[in-house]
Chain A
Amino acid sequence: MTQLETTLKALKSSTVEMITMAKIQLQKSKEAFLNKDQDLADEIFISEKHLNNFELRIDRDCENIFALHNPVASDLRLVIAILKVISDIERIGDHAEGIASYIMEMDKKFEKDLFEQLRFTKMYDIALQMLEMLEDAFDREDLGLARKIFKLDKSLNEIKLAAPDVITAYLRNDSEATKQALFLFSTIRKLERVGDLCKNIAEQLIFYAEAKVVKHRSEK
């Protein structure tokens, strides 16, 4: 293996590691949110710094590869893809942190009923599943798996679209739950954004492996 090949392999591993990190953040945020767990929230805040540093480190590695190795063709596409992907992963981490910060502002636990009507946990599970698939797809460059992520994102969008009506209906019966509802809705929006970001990452993977830019095509 040439030096460049070894370097690129390490770069890919780091990226997959970063995805895993973001996934764990999101997992923790789900638990913290559901159980109003302050300690867990603190863990998330600390790890967020690590995630940011990780992004900076990988960014610098990419820069070095450009400067020193002058990659071309698929090597070039890989480095470009990773540069874009790490920025998206970092934003997923941001969203997890954002959700964790709501816990501070909540006064009591959430109504189970509302959760279920909003399909809140389902949404979380889908998002986490998408991240798990990304880990795998990126590691093995499995494009079929990458494409499945698009479908899941559709589900997320659907849940978010339904949310306002559900909340409005709920509040008619229980006006006390307004603050809760607002937090829940913000979180739902964040999860939907996480889904979009996962979709972007999947697109970058496909771009790298197939040099097809699928961004603006409807075939999803």
Chain B
Amino acid sequence: MNINIWTFLTQCAAMGVWVFLVAGLYAIVEKVLDKHYPEFLAVEEAGASQAPGTTPVAQPDPAKQA
């Protein structure tokens, strides 16, 4: 483990700025798309993907056998 605290903090700051930048850009894109093409970004309902009559969660995940 070799941590230089100042490098680490700069890295954190840079990555934080990056996340905000991406989030801001996406927010703008989202707004524009929602206004002109409302269906384009519509979220698929979790419930809609379930078969009628089943529990909210499908069968136990089989590959989860440990």
Bind each other = no
